[in-house]
Amino acid sequence: MNLSDISTHWVALHEALGLGAPIADDAHYERMLAVVDQLFDAVAADPAHPLGGLVEILANRIRDYEGRIHPWPDTSTPASVLASLMEEHGLRQSDLPEIGSQGVVSEVLAGKRRLNLRQVRALAARFSVPMEMLAA
């Protein structure tokens, strides 16, 4: 394969997927996610599949876009992570039985009390986040 052949294929990929530039908007992002889903079905059974590299490139583009447009909350403290998760999910302090009473939740959010291992496990499972984000 020569440079001309490679260029032709690259231009076709760029025109079909917008692969030669960062993801520009939510519509482009949704198209990229759909392509990755289709490719992943084909590649998942064979780790050495030649399209695995394309999946990796698309995943990096998606990750970059998500980092720019939908960044993770400030993870400096478990309390700030919990507060962000509560806001994101529209929850009140009384909506977290995994922690305990509303008073206990209030103390955790104020930094007066730390989450214990049981609470961290339950919250990580509920919000589908790594336990490390909620552990002090």
Tell me the pTM.
0.52
**Fold observed for domain 78-133:** 434 Repressor (Amino-terminal Domain) (1.10.260)
When pLDDT is averaged across residues 3-10 and rounded to a whole number, the result is: 88
Domain ranges within the chain, ordered by starting residue: 3-69, 78-133
Instruction: Assess contact for 99 and 124: CB atoms under 8 A.
Output: no
Region at 10 (left for phi over 0; alpha for psi -120 to 50; beta for the rest): alpha
Give residue 89's pLDDT.
Answer: 93
Give residue 75's pLDDT.
Answer: 53
Each residue's pLDDT tens digit, 38-91: 888 888 878 788 888 888 889 899 999 988 887 776 557 899 899 999 999 999
When pLDDT is averaged across residues 96-118 and rounded to a whole number, the result is: 92
How far is residue 17's CA from residue 34's CA, in Å, rounded to a whole number? 11
Instruction: Assess contact for 55 and 39: CB atoms under 8 A.
Output: yes
Give residue 74's pLDDT.
Answer: 55
Phi, psi (rounded to 5 degrees) for 100: 140, -150
In percent, the amount of the chain with pLDDT more than 90 equals 45
Give residue 2's pLDDT.
Answer: 85
How far is residue 58's CA from residue 123's CA, in Å, rounded to a whole number? 31
